[in-house]
Structure 1
Amino acid sequence: MDRQHIGSAQPARLRVEVRTVDGRSELLIPVGELDHHTAELLRAPLDSALDAGRSRLVVDCSGLGFCDSTGLNVLLGARLRADAAGGGVHLVAMRPAVARVFHITGAEAVFTLHDTLGTALPG
């Protein structure tokens, strides 16, 4: 599901694959750069999953090469909504550049972190 920037002929630097895992969980696989220009491409499927009652969000970060404060805020907003609905946001396999943003800001403390999808997905 490649998307383009609104008003631009350039391809987006972020693709997000979405899979429903069970009636309550959604797996989101962002690939590329999560920043001010691409954050909406992740926010929209996060919001859609929450609106549909899937409050357990698993985000496979292994394909993210970059995340700025806007991307972090998208994930924090989803975490607040998921927590309020009795679920949560589980982040999987963060690369060092992305993990650093979470570590520096202290945001890693408010997410459930996993090394692999096997430990993050409901069994």
Structure 2
Amino acid sequence: MKFTKDHEWVRLEGDVATVGITRHAADALGDVVFVEVPDAGKAVSKGDGFAVVESVKAASDVYAPVDGEVIEGNAALSTAPETVNADPEGDGWFARIKVSDAGQLDALMDRAAYDQYLTTL
């Protein structure tokens, strides 16, 4: 699993990246009440907003950590947005993206580096 400074996580399996927000982000948002995930077929570019998560506190964009094409949005979040709080780094994933350049993941942090980064915030 790799992490961004914007608090997204990425798990690569073959050429497909599953993307979500980290426990830190979910905790900071508070109770998630709405999630808008991207539709299959949507092209995404690294750093662009591709999903939206709303909580009782705020609405936030979720940024694509890699370039690629969405092959699946997590439709279950539309009826159970609280899954993002309950299991942000598991069932609370936002999208699966067919990665066009796996080398982009090399610039992301591993768990230890992300945990260290959190101490600087």
More helix by share: 1
Does 1 or 2 have the higher relative contact order (CA < 8 Å, sep 6+)?
2
For normalisation by structure 1, the TM-score amounts to 0.27
For normalisation by structure 2, the TM-score amounts to 0.27
More strand by share: 2
